[in-house]
């Protein structure tokens, strides 16, 4: 995996999940005013797993930051294909540690799944976004 994919790169899915996303893009392209967004995002919550990959990378953003970017794109009536990408390359482990410092490191070799190792994105259409603080969202308790 070479990473730093732009909107001009042709996807080559490594698994069925990736293939279904690509099929969805082809269906969306049939609409004249479509907007297809590729991004790497996670919830701003404590990491759900005891471990995170040290050798799988992305230009991650939090879902609420992506939602704000989407709102702006829709308000500006942007169409076509865009990448909403973070400005910083992080391993999944580094990302997980932002909200859950006790998470343990693991490599993808230990799990043996067909995964894209470098999911980093660049945009030729948009400036990169800054990953905001990793503090988990406080949920009121009943």
Contact 5, 120 (CB under 8 A): yes
pTM assigned to the model: 0.83
49: which 2 tokens?
A: 């797993």
36: exposed, middle or buried (C-beta count within 10 Å: 0-12, 13-18, 19+)?
Answer: middle
Q: What is the torsion angle, in degrees rounded to the nearest 10, for the CA atoms of residue 89, residue 87, residue 85 and residue 63?
A: 90
pLDDT score at 122: 92
* Blockwise average pLDDT, block size 10, the chain, 142 residues: 91 92 97 95 91 96 92 94 93 95 95 88 86 55 37
The confidence score (pLDDT) of residue 133 equals: 65
């Amino acid at each position: 995996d070479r990473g730093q994919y732009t909107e001009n790169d042709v996807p080559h899915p490594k698994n069925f999940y990736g293939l279904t996303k690509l099929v969805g893009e082809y269906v969306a392209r049939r609409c004249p005013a479509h907007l297809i967004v590729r991004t790497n995002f996670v919830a701003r919550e404590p990491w759900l797993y005891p471990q995170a990959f040290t050798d799988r990378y992305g230009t991650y953003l939090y879902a609420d930051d992506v939602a704000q970017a989407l709102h702006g794109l829709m308000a500006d009536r942007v169409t076509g294909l865009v990448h909403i990408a973070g400005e910083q390359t992080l391993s999944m482990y580094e990302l997980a540690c932002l909200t859950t410092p006790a998470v343990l490191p693991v490599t993808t070799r230990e799990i043996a799944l067909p995964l894209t190792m470098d999911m980093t994105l660049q945009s030729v259409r948009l400036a990169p976004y800054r990953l905001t603080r990793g503090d988990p969202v406080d949920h009121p308790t009943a």
